[in-house]
């Protein structure tokens, strides 16, 4: 009986031996691995390009937000300057918080609806002061190169020659 069991095991092992068809498929298994490696390399290159594209989109959105917020602050300074209470002369605000709540009026008067931060640095603005140390404008502290080089509103045509975001100064200059 042992010899029959041995023959059965032997036959089973003989069936498991590599046939020419199995040997060919074993030689192809390296190609699958190589194909996966090439696929991973192509995907990483595509993701790198997508990341660059996405970062450009984010930078453009931040530039647009910088233009919006800076313009709002410049308009608030203009409103503060051009609307003094009766009997007072026109002057720039002493500090940024004066735009949020004008201390010259007994009732609440706002020239700016909320405290805007610099969208490029996500911190406070750099203040542009006049000779009397009053706030006449703001600019960003970011030293990066702007993507936007043209198509600015009339008030900001000087931004076309800007080398950094620090050159984008939102300053109110009264007309005489």
pLDDT digits (tens, 9 = 90+) for 60-87: 999 999 999 999 999 999 999 999 999 8
Do 125 and 168 form a contact (C-beta atoms < 8 A)? no
Give the strand order in the sheet containing 169-171: 126-129, 135-139, 169-171
Q: What is the predicted pLDDT for the residue at 110? A: 94
Q: What is the predicted pLDDT for the residue at 155? A: 87
d(CA 29, CA 139): 61
Q: Which of 94, 79, 60, 148 is nearest to 168 (CA)?
A: 148
Apex 70 CA angle, 51 and 127, nearest 5: 110
pLDDT surpassing 80 at residue 3: no
pLDDT surpassing 80 at residue 23: no
pLDDT surpassing 60 at residue 5: no
Helices then strands, counting H and E runs in the chain, come out as 3, 3
Q: What is the predicted pLDDT for the residue at 9? A: 53
How does pLDDT run across 123-145, given as a tens digit for each residue? Answer: 999 999 999 999 999 999 999 99
DSSP 106: S
Q: Both tokens of residue 108?
A: 């609440």
44-65: average pLDDT: 89
- Quote the longest CA-to-CA distance of the chain: 123
d(CA 99, CA 74): 10
**169-171 and 126-129 strand pairing:** unpaired
pTM of model > 0.75: no
């Amino acid at each position: 009986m042992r010899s029959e069991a041995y023959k059965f095991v032997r036959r089973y092992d003989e069936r498991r031996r590599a046939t020419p068809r199995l040997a060919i498929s074993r030689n192809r298994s390296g190609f699958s691995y190589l194909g996966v490696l090439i696929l991973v390399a192509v995907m990483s290159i595509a993701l790198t390009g997508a990341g660059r594209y996405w970062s450009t989109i984010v930078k453009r959105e931040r530039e647009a937000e910088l233009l919006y917020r800076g313009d709002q602050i410049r308009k608030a300074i203009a409103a503060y300057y051009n609307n003094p209470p009766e009997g007072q002369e026109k002057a720039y605000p002493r500090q940024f918080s004066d735009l949020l709540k004008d201390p010259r009026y007994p009732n609440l008067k706002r020239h700016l609806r909320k405290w805007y931060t610099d969208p490029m640095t996500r911190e406070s603005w750099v203040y542009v002061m006049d000779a009397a140390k009053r706030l006449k404008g703001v600019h960003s502290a970011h030293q990066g190169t702007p993507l936007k080089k043209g198509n600015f509103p009339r008030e900001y045509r000087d931004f076309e020659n800007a080398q950094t975001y620090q050159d984008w100064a939102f300053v109110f200059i009264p007309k005489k």
